[in-house]
Amino acid sequence: MRPTRPGLVALATAALLLFAHTATADDDPFAGARAAMVRAVALDAERTAEWIGKTALAPRVMEAMGRVPRHLFVPPELQDFGYLNRPLPIGYGQTISQPYIVALMTDLLAPEPDDVAFELGTGSSYQAAVLAELVAEVYTVEIVEPLAAGATDRLDALGYDNVTVRAGDGYFGWPEHAPFDIVVVTAAASHVPPPLIAQLKPGGRMVIPVGSPFLTQQLLLIEKREDGAITSRQILPVIFVPLTGGH
Ligand code: SAH
């Protein structure tokens, strides 16, 4: 048998690894992590089937989750954790929600391509970006000014030109752009803000965590029927940062 030449073998292996990396990474070193996050979300949907009434979320929603680069919505020092299926701090005491919760809320909102959506609580603007992949327009309000400014810059840089961010108290909605097909509240509210019900279109859907701040809230799916009647369904217990503001 011929003696092996470790140096050459090592070199060949290194070249192969380099090739494999460039071949699979497709210019996005986070592509693999993002795909793993989508699998983790799918697993959570299966595990919570009894609450959410289905074993899988809408394929369109899962595809959007697979497209939005979540690592660019977290602080730079947390980028490597950007695809963990968990919430992360984004500064100012606020968080980017857990991917499974973002996916679930988006699924419950049943987004359609022509829909106009309102979000209370822009935060990192990740939820807004996921919605922007699926609807015509997203209007989102954030009460912490630097977060609103950061979200505007981020969405511009990523080319999300169908999202408009405003700094202010989202409790009052955005009357100039109402009525909305979709309303999503991403901060824990003690009650459903009446202005948001008023700004929901007949046939529209709202998802909102309602309950005590700092404790567990119930995620509610509220629907306004064509005749204006309101229905509400509890989906599952969640924990969100509190709704603030002087309303
Ligand atoms: N949707 C966000 C989650 C942000 S956490 C994301 O995808 O990252 C909730 C956000 O709601 C926080 O940034 C908080 O500052 C904001 N918020 C709380 N009360 C608010 C209010 N009254 N009006 C607008 N934003 C509010």
The structure tokens listed for 86 are 């968990």
Residue nearest to atom 16 of ligand 1 (CA): 121
- DSSP, collapsed to helix, strand or coil, labels residue 166 as strand
Q: How confident is the model at residue 26 (pLDDT cuts 50, 70, 90)?
A: low
List phi, psi (to 5°) of 21: -65, -50
Average pLDDT, the chain: 92
Strand partners, 218: 210, 237
How remote is the CA of residue 4 from the centroid of ligand 1, in Å?
61
The continuous run of DSSP H or E covering 42 comes out as: helix 31-47
Q: Are the beta carbons of 116 and 137 closer than 8 angstroms?
A: yes
Place of tokens 């299966």: 46
In the chain, where the domains are located: 13-238
From 78, 144, 217, the mutation candidate for ligand 1 (largest count of ligand atoms within 8 A of CB) is 144
The structure tokens listed for 168 are 């202010």
State the closest ligand 1 atom to the C-alpha of 92, by its place in the atom list counted from 1. Answer: 15
In CATH, what is the architecture of 13-238? Answer: 3-Layer(aba) Sandwich (3.40)
List phi, psi (to 5°) of 79: -50, -40
The structure tokens listed for 26 are 């497709």
How remote is the CA of residue 100 from the centroid of ligand 1, in Å?
18
- 59-73, pLDDT tens digit by residue? 999 999 999 999 999
Residues contacting 169, CB < 8 A, separation 6+: 141, 143, 245, 246, 247
The structure tokens listed for 146 are 């630097």
State the closest ligand 1 atom to the C-alpha of 242, by its place in the atom list counted from 1. Answer: 18
Q: Which residues line ligand 1 (CB under 6 A)?
A: 94-97, 120-121, 123-124, 126-127, 141-144, 147, 169-171, 186-187, 241, 243-245
Pairing of strands 116-120, 180-185: parallel
- 99-143, pLDDT tens digit by residue? 999 999 999 999 999 999 999 999 999 999 999 999 999 999 999
Residue nearest to atom 17 of ligand 1 (CA): 121
Enter the pTM of the model: 0.90
* Spatial separation of the C-alpha atoms in residues 196 and 179, rounded to whole Å: 9
Among 6-15, 168-177, 230-239, the least confident range: 6-15
Q: How confident is the model at residue 213 (pLDDT cuts 50, 70, 90)?
A: confident
* Spatial separation of the C-alpha atoms in residues 163 and 171, rounded to whole Å: 19
Share above pLDDT 90 across residues of the chain, in percent, rounded to a whole number: 87
